[in-house]
Amino acid sequence: MIIRPQPQIHLAVRDHDCGWQPLDDDIVFDEGSGRALDFLGVPEPFKRSVWPAAIDRLAERAPYAAALIAEHAIFVYSANLDKPDWQPFFKDLEDRRAKLLATCSIPLYTLEADYPFLGVADPLSLSFCHGWTEPKERRGHTVRCDGAAVTITPSLLPATPVPIRVRARVLPDRRFESRESLRDALASAPVEFLTGVARGGSPA
């Protein structure tokens, strides 16, 4: 019998982006546009660097959470599987995933069955924070954002809608002269909260 470490699944959902924190703190600044580059816009070497850092951060105390994060990175960047520059990245993550699963004595098929909890939470949070209204598909589930409500179909949530509250700072939509001016504006911007709900939907 395989016992799933549920707290580690929750940890992977919560902390899977922790490898981005140093870049966010430093701000990847684009001189040409005068804006910060987000996770979509940063150069590919940055994208490849954050996931080993996230895995290493959790590997010792939560190896199954770290293995789920490795699975997430492999899935998210799977469009690059045939690109030579990405081959070492995928090989490294596959090796890390295998070693972490061996530490937990959990097979790959169990991790793949658990991954939707992380895989769906990712577009849920992104759709809510960015206001993306286009449906996002992830491992057999559809995420839709409509204003302050995000719906997952088929549901992975309890029957009662789950409140969402995200701490944020709002900056003016303009060009900044430098990383330092952007950092100063961010530091002085008032804290606001995005609020809404996540809920399960019924298949049509």
Share of the chain above pLDDT 70, in %: 98
Give CA separation, 144 vs 14, 73, 196, in Å.
20, 22, 13
Residue extents of the structural domains in the chain: 6-200
- From CA 138, how far away is CA 128, in angstroms rounded? 15
Segment 33-85, tens digit of pLDDT: 999 999 999 999 999 999 999 999 999 999 999 999 999 999 999 999 999 99
Give me the mean pLDDT over the 109-121 stretch: 94
- From CA 155, how far away is CA 141, in angstroms rounded? 8
Which DSSP category does 80 fall into?
Answer: G
Q: Which residues pair with 30 in a beta bridge?
A: 35
Is-above-0.75 flag for pTM? yes
Segment 125-179, tens digit of pLDDT: 999 999 999 999 988 899 999 989 999 999 988 889 999 999 999 898 999 999 9
Query: For position 161, what pLDDT does the model report?
Result: 93
Q: Can you read off the two tokens belonging to residue 34?
A: 């005068």
